[in-house]
Amino acid sequence: MAYFNIDATNAQTYDAIVVGTGISGGWAAKELTEKGLKTLVLERGRDVKHIVDYPTTNMMPWEFEHRGLPPLAVREANPMVSQHYIFREDAMHFLVKDAEHPYVQDKPFNWMRGYQVGGRSLLWARQTQRWSDYDFEGPARDGFAVDWPIRYKDIAPWYSYVEKFAGISGNKDGLPQLPDGEFLPPHEMSCVEKHFSDQTAKNYKGSRPVIIGRAAHITDPQPIHTQQGRAKCQHRNMCQRGCPFGGYFSTNASTLPWAEKTGNLTLRPNSVVHSVIYDEKKKKATGVRVVDALTKEMTEFYAKVIFINASAINSNLILLNSKSSRFPNGLGNDSGMLGKFIGFHNYRGRVTAEFDGYHDRTVDGRRPNGAYIPRFRNVFKQETDFLRGYATSFTASKMGNANTGLGESLKESLFAPDESGWSLGAQMMGEVLTKESNFVQLDPNLKDPWGIPQLRMNVAFDDNDMKMVQDFYTELSEMLQKAGFINIKTSDTKRNPGSENHEMGGIRMGNDPKNSLLNKWNQMHHVPNVFVTDGGCMTSTSTQNPSLTYMALTARATDYAVRAMRKNEF
């Protein structure tokens, strides 16, 4: 006779399960708990509580043993993760070590991961731009990849919804390719950035706008932010350490504490999700298998609806590993598209320049933001020999150093006029096409320390990416030269894919189940109670930073999922 421990099963059953606590997972937790669902949130890494677990947040430079730079032995032991700009003494504890989380690089891929409650929401660059219809219509217009199942009008109200809660600073610029949002007061451009903006507007008749960046920083706290316990951004520029003021948006400072207040949240760190459980009789998912990160014991948890938000590559891994008789190639993978069409952003291009002017001006304080040039190539029509385009972020600052010396010489330098010029540094953010040759797959033999198959990475740049880099060099150099800049130089970081984050795709949205995994609600075509709203769902990558779109898609999908549950649709 079969024996079932009913009490144990009930104790491990929830209304909803959310896998991952990064930006999208935090939003899923907030929305589901607010709507009354008892929600289990699973995080594979350790717990990190807001303020309490930011060990370096108030340390001074001289308090770091190696003045911020990790020792050579540590860098050599972590050849991939040490390529990331966050990998310094003040924040490297928020990134995983290479040897502890192995994967296979069939092509070079520097996978940057933050395994802790909050994930990479503690580490992101906080740039937040909306997509426009020019982005959602891109694949349909140029015939590359598949059409998005949504347009800007579908997501616009959800952009507004998440912007008000998160706190986004920016200026209403009135640009069709970069829709305005619900903005807090913007940061200011430096005088040289403003000069570049004015000159570019004149030289290109407004076709290449140069604006202040839009960033998830509270510049004027509203009641919704004080209710979260968050305060105005202090412009410390130490965001990667964790902000004790909650001045920038993170899961830890915002969405998870909000979810916790509902009384409907159960947070379980150190929980490595092995796979999703599929019931072939019920024709839906019933829960997830979890390996305890510390004891390696496996447990099963059950729920009516499951949100996969483990970050794009890990979400692909979980679904590929979720095999059953019905889905032998991974959950919902009738199309064979799971793990394919991976995309990311290309940051390889850099341009530097100098400006010999404004000698009587300087900058005041710090600014956790920069200036931004939205994509201007192939927006309204195809005009180059490469598809899609790139955006540019840059800052201009004084070249001189007014705080040199010691004692009396330091005092003199502080009061002496700084007659140096200005330097400008710019980087591109190019759209990498999501293509079938960029994919991830499970290794048939190698396992990670938790008994889960390792991923094999087959992701690379192509000719389209390199043409885009060259165009960035040419066009930005011309723009700077026309604006009066000198000593203009270009460089290629030659960094591998993955080095700059923003992994996307593999579980893409689409109208047709034959060539996509998710429908317009981020719902799996063939497993209707499973949703994916992190970067894995993206059909294309555009040139905007993607996190704001993840937030909006998550809020929209949770709203739909709860309504569908209440109608007993799954």
DSSP letter string over 108-149? --------BTTGGGGT---B-----HHHHTHHHHH-SS---S
Tens of pLDDT, residue by residue over 409-458, are 777 776 666 677 899 999 999 999 999 999 999 999 999 999 999 999 99
| pLDDT at site 361 | 87
Residue that is written with structure tokens 């997509």 in the block = 131
Which CATH code for domain 12-59+123-170+214-342+504-570?
A: 3.50.50.60
CA dist list (Å): 403 to 236, 364, 409, 414, 451: 18, 14, 9, 6, 54
C-alpha 228, offset from chain centre: 22
Query: How many CB atoms within 10 Å of residue 110?
Result: 20
Q: What CA–CA distance (Å, rounded) separates 54 from 230? A: 16
CA dist list (Å): 466 to 142, 315, 393, 416, 499: 19, 29, 19, 46, 17
| pLDDT at site 2 | 47
| pLDDT at site 8 | 58
| pLDDT at site 74 | 93
* Residue ranges, the chain, pLDDT below 70: 1-8, 400-404, 414-418
Q: What CA–CA distance (Å, rounded) separates 426 from 459? A: 25
Q: β-strand 168-169 against 271-279: which pairing, if any?
A: unpaired
Q: What CA–CA distance (Å, rounded) separates 126 from 135? A: 20
Instruction: Please tell me whether residue 471 adopts helix, strand or coil conformation.
Output: helix
Tokens of 283: 């024709």
List the end-to-end C-alpha distance of the chain, in Å, as a whole number: 31
The full set of domain ranges for the chain reads 12-59+123-170+214-342+504-570, 187-213+345-431+461-496
Contact 390, 468 (CB under 8 A): yes
Q: What CA–CA distance (Å, rounded) separates 203 from 256? A: 47
Q: What CA–CA distance (Å, rounded) separates 191 from 357? A: 10
**Nearest in space to 180 (alpha carbons), one of 429, 548, 479:** 548
Which CATH code for domain 187-213+345-431+461-496?
A: 3.30.410
Contact 118, 93 (CB under 8 A): no
| pLDDT at site 411 | 77
User: Phi, psi (5° rounding) for residue 8?
Assistant: -65, -40
Task: Give the global pTM.
Answer: 0.95
Tokens of 132: 């426009």
Contact 99, 82 (CB under 8 A): no
